[in-house]
Chains A and B, each alone.
Chain A
Amino acid sequence: MFHFVLRRLASAVPTLFIVVTISFFLMRFAPGGPFNLERPLPPATMENLMKAYHLDQPLWNQYLQYLKNAVTGDFGPSYIYKDNTIAELIGKGLPYSVELGFYALLLALVGGVTVGTIAALRQNSFLDFLIMSVATIGVTVPNFVVGPVLTLIFAVLLSLLPAGGWGDGSWRFLILPMIALALPQLAVFARLTRGSMIEGLHTDHIRTARAYGLPPRTVVITHAMRGALLPVVSYLAPCAAALLTGSAVVETIFTIPGVGRYFVLGAINRDYTLVMGTVVLVAIFVIVFNLVVDILYGLLDPRVRHD
């Protein structure tokens, strides 16, 4: 297992390198640049700006320079958020996104698995139908609808919770964006759990466990759930990476100072260094969570071996 983790961490280096390379050139092939504003800048200013940010050099040199700096942890200055380096911007925003994303992930995972298991145990009952209907609506209704509706109900009409902002970071500010983030994922987890739980409950070892007279709770939680969680765990990696790096839509609706906005703003403003920063951030999260998930596979199902 130790060797497996080491090997995977070693293979993260070429992965990151390829991601950075493709993204760097992909970005430069797109038309537009960070200083192409609606009102064009005077040519002299433009020239100076390009020189200041080394954008006048051949692309290949810029790429090598970026790699050299990135290895030492210097991701360059932002073109749009003047006076801020990328490391500062992401360092400032990431804690908010990660905290919010973590609670949303927890809610989605625990809620989804619980609800999905209940639905599977009562297969084809009214409760099952009800839970799955709500889950369907959860998958279908997009964030940009759920967010405003939640604000309208709980902040405007009932005045129970603040409509947005981070405030002092207390749970009252977190609860609405957390629900808006978690709801679609919770629905996915619920559907995946229900499907594989129904399959899992029909297997021979569950019949054996029941025949032994084990309490139903033990049968479901310790025996059936282990196998049933495989697809849930598979989906966990992309879901966790997406939730923890923030969502542009939810952060905009609830005015949260996280990093989710930078994904969209960086791309729209052609803030090359910011885009590269977000790309590296996502890549790290994806690599780490895929590794975690591969380890979890082995824990859940001893038949899975990493050779």
Chain B
Amino acid sequence: MTDISATIIPPEESKGRSLFQLATIRFRRNRAAMAGCVVLFLITIFSFFGPYFINHTYDQVFPSYVTIPPSLEALPKTDTLGDVMAGVASRAKVELKEFAVDGNTFTATVHSDQTIDPRTTRYFDRANEFDDTKVTATEDDGKTLKLSGNVNREYFFFGTDANGRDMLARIMLGGQISLAVGFLASLVSLAVGVTYGAISGYIGGRVDNVMMRLIEILYSLPFVFLVVVLVVFFGRSFILIFLVIGAVEWLDMARIVRGQTLALKRREFIGAAQALGLTDWQIIRRHIIPNTIGPVIVFVTVVVPKVILLESFLSFLGLGVQAPLTSWGALISEGANKMQSAPWLLIFPAIFFVITLFSLNFIGDGLRDALDPKDR
């Protein structure tokens, strides 16, 4: 996670490496922060590389396994296979005489009053449970067939959703999208908000007045229409999501940084910097922004969950990611609707979401302690 710290404190870096190195050393010493880094790293690996290790894709539909609760056991369970087979046989309009399961293979004997077309095996393959059905023997002039094939055993550790899609695969995909949105949109709001707030507060006077009125205007605009009009003009695109979210979320950040700057700019060290002939921009960059780092980092840890949840509202309006793609925010809001009948649809995405934010908070606190210019 050193790249986060590098993006937050470019001003420090340009001044001298020793300051940045010092922060790195202090950060490494913070156990909670390092643990947070490890957990966040693991979740990132899980989301981005996990899909290569599971045999279901996020958009694969299992009609036989709709809204299945999570379980460590393989499905279908052996004792329910008989019922499934009876269902398949009646669909194929044949009579099931015998049925036996042996490990991963099954054998069945079916009978009908007329000659059975061998192509009937397709009915058996069509069920998610059976695969590779073959006719092993024909009796009674083709009126009785002996069949054998493989039993498909599927694992749904996190259960399936209302469309019969594997929640594990969907949470991995949701993680990819939510982590990307959370990371990038927060960076946009961080960069814009901090710069804007520091400039407005430091220069003050008429400039501050105009810049703050602009924030009030942006606050008041009807968000839904902003989104809809942007979609109409630019079409649906992933970049638009970051722009829209970033455009809304930097406002609070700018107000907070401006508030800190108003108090900071009367401090002695700023006066000293002015006396030394530093330009306004140098003072903002090297003295104002590093001193606002505390509230800024705390607020970033608040912005990340907001951004991730806002993305699900955008999906609802038709801008965010659309099904079958998904995000943690979308999974959580879908799960919230089925909280009582299928709690796992809410619980699993929520656990990943909460754990991610917990580790982010620890990283944030560690970064704050490491970067605080007052505490050396």
Contact = CB atoms under 8 A, between A and B. Distances in A.
Interface of A: 11, 14-15, 18-19, 22-23, 26-27, 29-31, 132-133, 136-137, 139-142, 144-145, 148-149, 152, 187-188, 191-192, 194-196, 198-199, 202-203, 227, 230-231, 233-235, 237-238, 241, 263-264, 267-268, 275, 278-280, 282-283, 286-287, 290, 293, 297, 301, 303-305, 307
Interface in B283-326: 294-295, 297-299, 301-302, 305-306, 309
Given A145-B332, A192-B299, A199-B372, A234 B255 contact: yes
28 contacts: A19-B216, A19-B221, A26-B222, A27-B225, A187-B302, A192-B299, A195-B368, A202-B374, A230-B263, A231-B260, A231-B298, A231-B299, A234-B259, A235-B252, A237-B255, A238-B255, A268-B224, A275-B222, A275-B225, A278-B222, A283-B217, A293-B255, A293-B259, A297-B259, A297-B262, A301-B263, A303-B266, A304-B266
B259 A27 contact: no
A218 B230 CA distance: 53
A188 B297 CA distance: 12
Contacts of A287: 216
Given A26-B221, A144-B336, A290 B226 contact: no
Interface size class on chain B is 35 or more
Given A30-B232, A192-B298, A290-B212, A238 B354 contact: no
By secondary structure, the A interface counts as: helix
A287 B298 CA distance: 25
Given A11-B209, A191-B301, A297 B263 contact: yes
Nearest to B299: A192
B332 A31 contact: no
Given A19-B221, A139-B305, A14 B213 contact: yes
By secondary structure, the B interface counts as: helix
Contacts of B339: 145, 148-149, 152
Contact of B229 (A29, A136, A141, A149): A29
Contact of A238 (B226, B228, B251, B262): B251
A30 B217 CA distance: 19
A26 B230 CA distance: 10
B47 interface: no
B305 A140 contact: yes
A148 B298 contact: no
A31 B318 CA distance: 13
A292 to B, nearest CB: 13
B34 interface: no
Contacts of B220: 19, 23, 279-280, 282-283, 286
**Considering the complex of A and B, which 7 residue pairs feature the smallest CB-CB distances, nearest first?**
A234-B259, A283-B220, A267-B224, A231-B295, A303-B266, A195-B298, A234-B256
Q: Among the interface residues B212, B219, B256, B374, which one has the most CB atoms of the partner chain A within 10 A?
A: B219
B103 interface: no
